[in-house]
Structure 1
Amino acid sequence: MAITRTTSADAPESLTQGLVRLIHTKPVTQADYDVAALFTLDAVANILAGRNSTPGKVLLDWWQARASNEMPEPSRLAFLMGALCHILETDDLHRESVVHPGCVVVPAVWALANKMKTPGHDVLRAVLHGFEATTRVGMAVGPAHYRIWHNTATCGPYGSAMAAAWLLDLDAPQAVHALGNAGSQSSGLWQFLETGAMTKHLHAGHAAEAGLKAADLAAFGFTGPAKILEGEKGFFKAACPDARPEMVLATPDAPWQLRRTSIKPWPSCRHTHPAIDAAEELRVALGKFNEREIHSVEVGTYQAALDVCDRPVSDSEYEAKFSLQHTVAAALLFPHVDFAAFNEESRAKAASLALRVKPMVEEPYKSAYPVNWGARARVILNDGSEFETRRENAKGDPEAPLNHADMVAKAEMLLAHGGVRNPKSVIDGVLGLAKNGALPDLSLL
């Protein structure tokens, strides 16, 4: 991979030029490959599990109706894999950027590397590059962006473009063109939350496809704007009223951002996880109890959690995954917050208690966000007794990570949900990338 500067003395380096330089010169260790393989496994397991869902079946019906006998173009396959990956709400999450990198980056890498027969270390380096680009842009957009725009959708194309640029052996100027055209395709609004529409899955698929296509075009000489981020008609001006451009290139010597990314243990919006974690502890502390003994449940959290997940009544499985009220009630009532905790029967069982869950914004969680995603849960019984616990971070965060066995167990659970007949071959094959092995055959479609 050629590493060159793209500026001259009279042309200051743009943010995308600096980002390409930062990523190209960042060293990769065997430990980085090992962790990247685990994150790749998590995304692959989510993709295969996502097929077993109503939106997944719609996507597969669409795919089969448009299929031909030829190998699909990588960008089209990346769209499908990205959309499937983001369905079950069990994919990874980078807190500071509020981006789900895996559902955008891994599909783009997999679709392209599968066609190119890329060896494992290059696959994982591309994954590291993609996570770095999308999260660094995400950390710079500012909190106001997230109130209207879905960061995974808007920042994701930068990640898929940067990952594909490595696989396509683009030099620095070509990679800048790829990022410029990827960023020009940034889109994705939160409006779907009002009705629980399937739009969120399209966001991940489009972000994976857009960046890959931008990189592929750059390989043929198609140019893009170097100042797509900070330009007068660029991304920050258009959609980020409180952007923090300095975050794009901040702390260049920090560990790869993939290693700052959280893994979800529960199939719901990550904003609900600190409260689930706290409520599970309270369930154990309370022992056997009747739900009618609970007068109310207080949940202290940060503003973004309420913006996205303040939903006292959940009329669908998807709405329940974006409800602090349902997820906390489920964590108090059920032994496991798993896929079954969101079905119609479980929603009915939790509905009464969910109406007594009162989320509120409070310190220290308000100020700690987005660096730390924490919560407080307090159960108040009818007799006046109170039980409380707090979380500075959630299970699966870098400060409370899932270990190797936990990650493999989660993959096994997802692959079983997806009906994969030989999950061990998928797990061993993906983890083998860290030893520079070949991509396993997913037999996805």
Structure 2
Amino acid sequence: MIKKLLIIIFFILGCAENPKPLPDWILHTKNDPQIWSSVGLGPNREIATQQAINSIASQISVQIESKIKFIKTEHNFEIDQFSKSIIESRINISLPEVQINEVIKINNTWYARASLNKNYYFKLLEDKRQNAKITAINFLREAKNLNKREALQTIFKAYEEIETFLDSPIYVNYNGNPNSNLYSEIIFQFTECIQGIKINPEKYIYKFKSILPIRKKIPINISTTDNQSSDGLPFVINFDSGKTNKKMIALNNSMQILIDEIYPNSISGEISIQLDTPAILNRINIPRQFKIQPSARITIEILPLQFYIQSEEMNFDKKLDSKKIYPIVSQYIIDNYSGLISDSKEESDLHINLTLKTYKGNNGNNEWGIFKSYADFNMQVIMKDTNQEIFNFSINPVQGGDFQSHKNAGSQAINNLATQLKNEILPLFNASLIKN
């Protein structure tokens, strides 16, 4: 039995096809100083070829990354983004030039051999660098005859032209200097251009009162040190203490900030006006060297509103010894608007007229022995300067009941009204005041 098994094994081995030997270029990739070489493998021709090309790209990436540390030190670049930008650019240049020298299939596996001539690659790279250099210089010269927005955009285009070639310094003959560093010249010209933008408010301190409709326009002059037009420059406006424009664009070298409203309880505020550099360059993540944003600040002093309150509170034709409505309204004003309660009608900003009256709800106690009374209430608010009525609210009847008398029932109606005043009427007044 064993003898028969051995015969079968030898027969199978003898009939089996010997594995095809791998070529030397697969087993041993030559290290040629003039050529980048690579081998790729895969289950089909396309994958093997792509693997070989990717290997060439990886070798170029290693060559570039060796220079990145120097670039970071000299130019203070954000290293990850910068290296990624250069590597992607070089790979895009190199991939079309990679030669596929041979593709074979051995034992169901495909092998591809690729190469790229270094001298040819570096010559191609240098040609592109020279073209970028010439284009960048032309952009710098063109920028001097443009308005500020176009000048900044054009200078930045000069940077974008050479951005992916900054792994080596680029020296040019510019402004009479035969060894001018092009990158440094771009940064200098951009900085000089943007720092020449001056944001000049008509005044740096304004005084406003909260809540009242303001719609105050604050003129801003946008000047430049070189007399270039500032038209089209975008600005971002921030004002935490009120409502105003969020974004503005200079026109005729000026713009106007419109303050619509000052928020309640704001003691003071500041309007900041900042050049929107990312909007000018149409790029959200701009390089650190270009994050220069001229700004100006305007102080807003917020003055408290003065309220004059006239309150007539009657319970069956008799003035209340201790008013119920007046203290609720006055405390609401103090708590919500930091307002001042004024004794002078002439010196106040808002006049509040409160009227409260009660009357009988039945002729006597009813079948259950309850006396009914009702309260009527009106609240009117007038702006003193314009005599404009900005709020008028009436409520009736608010019911009260008591087992002793109509007067006591009237007092209960007033207490019920006071609850509605806190929970319903004054919030309506607040909404109306802000809306106006």
TM value normalised by structure 1 = 0.23
Select the structure that is richer in helix.
1
Select the structure that is richer in strand.
2
More relative contact order, 1 or 2 (CA 8 Å, 6+ apart): 1
Q: Which structure is larger by alpha-carbon Rg, 1 or 2?
A: 2
